[in-house]
Chains A and B, each alone.
Chain A
Amino acid sequence: MQISKRANGFGSCGYWGRQLRTGEMAILLNEEEIAEAVDRLADQIMASGEGPVCIVGIRSRGDEVAERVCNRLAETDRELQYGVLDISLYRDDLEHLKQNPKLQSSEISFPMDGAHVILVDDVLFTGRTIRAALDALTDYGRPQKVELAVLIDRGWRELPIEPTYVGKVLETKRLDRVVVNLQGTDGEDSVILESND
C-alpha cells in the first residue's frame, strides 16, 4: 500500500495536486492541521454567542472531537455541558447489515428540554448519521436549539443537512474513503484519504 505525501495545491478545500489511483492513500491532515481545525471549530462556537451550551459528541470519534472542543471552550467562561451519543439504534441501514453494530452507552446527564445542543462529529458525509443523531437526541427531550459542528465536511450529502460549524472542508470523490484517526481512539492524529475511484 502506498501512502503519498499530499501533493501541493492543498488549500482550504481540496487535495488534488494530482489524481490518486484506486487503492492509493494520501495523508490529508496531520496532527497539527487537525489541532488547527479543532481550534477553528472552537473559535466559531465562541464567536456564535453566549449562554450555556451542551456539546454532544457522536460515537465513535465525534466524542473525542467534542472533548477537544470542550477543552478549548473551557478556557472561556461559557457555561458548558458535555455528552456522548451512540446512534446505532437509530441507523437507517440496520436491515441491510449482516451484523448489527456494537452498541455503546450514551451519556446525556443534562436535561434535554430547552437545552442548546451542539452535535459534534468527525466527518460529515451523507448526513445520515446526523439524521439518526437528531432522532436519538430528541428522545431525551425537546432541545431549544440544535446545531452541528464537524471536524471535516467532505461533501456528498444525501439528506438536507448542513453543518453550522466546520473545521475543514475537503473536496472528495463520492467513493473515496476518508479515515479519521484520533489519539484517544486510534493512537495517532491523522486524516487519510483512500481513493476508490
Chain B
Amino acid sequence: MVRKDLLDLASLSREETEEILEQAKPLKEVFQRSVKKFPALKGKTVLMLFYEPSTRTLSSFEVAAKRMGADVTVFDVPSSSVVKGESVRDTVDTLQAMQADYIVVRHQMPGLPGRIAKMTKASVISAGDGAHAHPTQGLLDAFTLREVYPTEEGKRVLIAGDIRHSRVARSTSTVLKKLGYEVAYLGPGSLVPEVPGIARFTNFEEAWQWKPDVFYMLRVQKERQGCQFFPSVSEYHKLYGITEDRFRRISEEGLWVMHPGPVNRGVELCDAAMDYERCLINQQVENGIAVRMAVLYLLKQGEE
C-alpha cells in the first residue's frame, strides 16, 4: 500500500483493505509479549486534533502510537483555539511547525480531514468526520468479524439504530460489503436510508426473518434525544434494542453481538447481553489498537 492518508474506506481497494487487516494480526500478537512496545515509529510525532470529544477513539490511537514508539500530543481544540477563533488553516500550520508526522483528526464537519490532508505533508487519518466516515472503526469491526468468521461467505450482519446519522454504520457497512459480508439495516423508518445492496428493515421481527449472524447495535446519541426520532429511551429499547427476550434467542442460536461503545445499558443492550460470551465489545476495543497500529505502520508521509 502506498498512501499518505486514510480519510475513508470507500476509496480503499479490496487489496488495500485486506493488507491493513493482514498487518494488524502480527501487531496484535505483540500485545502478548512482556514488552508491548517496539520502535517502528521512534522519533515520529503523532498529533491528535480532536474538535469533538471522544475518550475511546482518542485513547485507542494514543495507545497504538505509543506502543509503536511515537510521541503523542493531544491538541485539545474545543478548549483552546476554537474559543480563540483560530481557523483550521492556522491550526494546521501550527501543527506543521511542530513537525507532526501524523495528524489524527476528528471533526463534526464531513470532509474536513481531507481538506487538512491537502494542506500538509503529514499523514492525516480521519477519526470520524460528521456522518461521513470513521475508517478505523470500520476496519476494527471487519478485523473482529474475521476473527470469528475467517471466511465471510454468506455471513450476515444486521446493523441496528440511527443509521442515517451514523458514520460508524457507513464505514462499517462499506468495509463489510467490500469484503463480501451481507449487510442489512434496522431502525426507525426515517433513520434508515435506502442503500442499494443493503436490506432495509424497520421492525425487529422482519429482521429476524433475514437470519442475521451478527447483531451490530449502534449507540443511541443521547444529544439527539428530543428530535422526535425516538419517542423515548425505553421505547427504543423495546423496538430496536436487544431485550431480554431477544437476547434469549440470540444466545440459544449462538449469534454474535457487537457495539462500537460506549454502551447505554438497557437501551441498545440489556445487561445479560453485555455479559454474553459472544458479545464482542472488548475484542473490538483491543482490535482497535491493533488496526490503528497497522494504519500508522502502512501510511507514508509526503515528500518535502
Do A and B come from the same complex?
yes
Mask, A157-197, CB within 8 Å of B = 1, is 00000000000000000000000000000000000000000
Is B33's CB under 8 angstroms from A140's CB?
yes
Which chain B residues have a beta carbon within 8 Å of chain A's beta carbons? 1-2, 23, 25-27, 29-30, 33-35, 37-40, 43, 68, 297-298, 300
Residues of A within 8 A of B1 (CB): 99
List of B residues within 8 angstroms of A86 by Cβ: 26
Selected from A99, A102, A105, A136, the residue in CB contact (under 8 A) with B38 is A136
Q: Is the CB of A105 within 8 A of B26?
A: yes
Binding site for B on A (CB under 8 A): 86, 88-90, 94-95, 98-100, 102-106, 112, 135-136, 139-141
Q: Which residues of A contact B25 (CB under 8 A)?
A: 105
A89 touches B39 (CB 8 A): yes
Once the chains bind, are A98 and B2 in contact (CB under 8 Å)? Answer: yes
Which of A103, A106, A135 is within 8 Å of B39, CB to CB?
A135
Contacts of A105 in B (CB 8 A): 25-26, 29
A89 to B37, CA, bound (A): 10
Given contacts A98-B2, A98-B300, whether A103 and B37 have CB atoms under 8 Å apart is no
Q: Is the CB of A139 within 8 A of B26?
A: no
A139 and B27 form a contact (CB under 8 A): no
CA gap between A85 and B23 in the complex, in Å: 15
Bound: A123/B255 CA distance, A: 50
Q: How far is the CA of A86 from the CA of B25 in the complex (A)?
A: 13
- Knowing A99-B1, A103-B297, A141-B34 touch, does A90 contact B26 (C-beta < 8 A)? no
Residues of B within 8 Å of A136, CB to CB, are: 38
Q: How far is the CA of A139 from the CA of B34 in the complex (A)?
A: 7
Choose one: B2, B23, B34, B35; the contact of A103 (CB below 8 Å): B23
Chain B: CB-nearest residue to A87? B38
Q: Are B2 and A102 within 8 A (Cβ)?
A: no
Could you tell me the distance in whole angstroms from the C-beta of A91 to the nearest C-beta in chain B? 8
Query: Chain B residues near A98 (CB, 8 Å)?
Result: 2, 300
Q: Given contacts A89-B40, A98-B2, are A103 and B27 in contact (CB under 8 A)?
A: yes
- B38 close to A139 (CB less than 8 A): yes
